[in-house]
Amino acid sequence: MIVRLPPSAPGLRVGLYGGSFNPAHAGHLHVSRLALRRLALDRVWWMVSPGNPLKDRRILAPLAERVAGAEAIARDPRIAVTAFETAIGARYTRESLEWLVRHRPDLRFVWIMGADSLASFHRWQGWRAIARMMPIAVIDRPGFTLRATAAPAGRALDRFRLDERHAARLVRAAPPAWVFLHGPRSDLSSTALRGAGPSIPGQGDPRPR
């Protein structure tokens, strides 16, 4: 089996940003650039998933279409788009991250997710294993600033939380370790864009607030 990952040199600090990207939008770009800056990352990989087990697959666009849309939005040389999860047959995030850690032990990974994902993280298959596998950066989202940390996973991981002022140290922290990044927020969502009709590559304003 040949699995193609984005080019990377040993020692690089890589943020992993997974999702269905159905479709990708400027909010994804905003989150990635925030993570690159605040976490002192070298790269961010957008992991376009085959499908989210917690979401309705009937509204999922074909993988090739979602990858192409993500590549059109990812207008930053530090951001790469990959669909390797399909190639390795991974269904859950835990499986994908285990594969990466096993095959690229020379890279320093950080898992990136929105505060809305932290609010439901306790429903993910193997979420505790993910927390033990690599550091996690949670990016604030409108409406989830308090709900995320009050959710079951947020409470369970509270004692491993780093002070936001030291976010750049996260990549070298031994997991479990995580940080909650606040700042300008995007209220864009793929769900809202699907409801608005066909999208044009590059459209969408992150509308930080």
Query: Residue 198's pLDDT band (boundaries 50, 70, 90)?
Result: very low
Q: Quote the CA–CA distance of 41 and 25 in Å, as a whole number.
A: 21
18-29 burial, b for 16+ CB within 10 Å, e for fewer?
Answer: bbbbbbbbbbbb
Average pLDDT over residues 62-80: 97
Q: Quote the CA–CA distance of 173 and 178 in Å, as a whole number.
A: 9
For domain 13-186, is the CATH number 1.10.3080.10?
A: no
Q: CB under 8 Å to 1, separation ≥6 — which residues? A: 87, 88
Nearest one of 102, 98, 100, 89 to 132, comparing CA atoms: 98
Q: What is the pLDDT of residue 93?
A: 96
pLDDT tens for residues 22-46?
999 999 999 999 999 999 999 999 9
Q: Quote the CA–CA distance of 109 and 26 in Å, as a whole number.
A: 23
What are the tokens at 31?
């989150």
Which residue did the predictor score with more confidence, 123 or 57?
Answer: 123
Q: Domain ranges in the chain?
A: 13-186
Q: What is the pLDDT of residue 192?
A: 54
Contact status, residue 124 vs residue 93, Cβ threshold 8 Å? yes
pLDDT tens for residues 165-194?
999 999 999 999 999 999 875 665 545 544
